[in-house]
Amino acid sequence: MQVYFRYAILLLLATSAVACTNAQPEFSALAGIPQPLYFGKTNHTIAIVSPTVDIPVQGTCDVRADSIEFRIQGFHNWGAASNFASGAVVDNCKTSGTFSFDLRSLNAMAVWNVTQTVRFTLEAKAVYSVGESEISQLKIEYVIPVGTAPGQFRMSQGAGAASSPSYRARASINFLNGATASSTNFTINRQQR
């Protein structure tokens, strides 16, 4: 009986010595690989008010990540934040677990069209030696403010003509009341048929 009691005490001491080591925490495939967060979320939406202003991006990342990669969904391949940034990228993932940069403006990325709303998604993923994280998404939206969209007119077959060194357009415009439209750059008169 005393022999079994000694083995039990030795076994208890051996397991407690292993459990008390100063081990570095690891993540397992079952627990998932930590993904970067935009403004504390895996999916976040921001609205921007101008197509000419750079877009501030900030987030957190796991200090064990080898790198963080970004892409604009549907348009670009994965790459470093510097591929999309207008200036310096602050990558403190290895030290404080944060990153930030200014995404180039819509004008600088040549994705802005004055006649329509623009929506796109900046995706991020963390790359580890054991694999890649799930993708986090930052949805960016620019809606043209009411009353600022440029005016439009329809062109159809007709005899009218306009030209300049950079364009030539032919159009007919049906003014119901015989009005004339003009400016310092053009004049449109009702044509008698």
pLDDT at position 49, please? 84
| Each residue's pLDDT tens digit, 70-113 | 999 988 899 999 999 999 999 999 999 999 999 999 888 876 66
CA–CA distance, 12 with 34 (Å, rounded to integer): 35
- Residues 101 and 59 placed together within one structural domain of the fold: yes
Mean pLDDT over 23-42 rounds to 72
The whole-model pTM stands at 0.60
Mean pLDDT over 24-41 rounds to 72
Q: Within a domain: residue 63?
A: yes
Please check whether residue 101 is in contact with residue 92, taking contact to mean a CB–CB distance below 8 angstroms. no
Domain that holds residue 174: 153-193
Q: Within a domain: residue 1?
A: no
pLDDT at position 184, please? 55
How many CB atoms are located within 10 Å of the residue 106 CB? 21
How many CB atoms are located within 10 Å of the residue 17 CB? 9
Q: Within a domain: residue 125?
A: yes
pLDDT at position 34, please? 93
| Each residue's pLDDT tens digit, 109-126 | 876 665 678 889 999 999
**Coil, strand or helix: which one is 143?**
coil
Please check whether residue 86 is in contact with residue 104, taking contact to mean a CB–CB distance below 8 angstroms. yes
| Each residue's pLDDT tens digit, 140-155 | 998 877 666 554 444 4
Kindly list the distances between the CA atom of residue 134 and the CA atoms of 80, 127, 174, 193, in Å, as whole numbers in the listed order. Answer: 17, 10, 57, 67
| Each residue's pLDDT tens digit, 46-71 | 998 888 889 999 999 999 999 999 99
Mean pLDDT over 171-185 rounds to 51
Q: Which two tokens stand for residue 167?
A: 């364009």
High-pLDDT (> 70) share of the chain, %: 56
| CATH number of the domain where residue 47 is located | 2.60.40.10
- Residues 66 and 137 placed together within one structural domain of the fold: yes
Query: What is the number of domains present in the chain?
Result: 2
Higher pLDDT, 122 or 192: 122
Nearest CA-CA partner of 137 in 122, 120, 119: 122
What's the half-sphere exposure (Cβ side, CA atoms, 13 Å) at 126?
Answer: 27
How many CB atoms are located within 10 Å of the residue 125 CB? 19
Please check whether residue 65 is in contact with residue 128, taking contact to mean a CB–CB distance below 8 angstroms. yes
- Residues 44 and 125 placed together within one structural domain of the fold: yes
pLDDT exceeds cutoff 80 at 39: yes
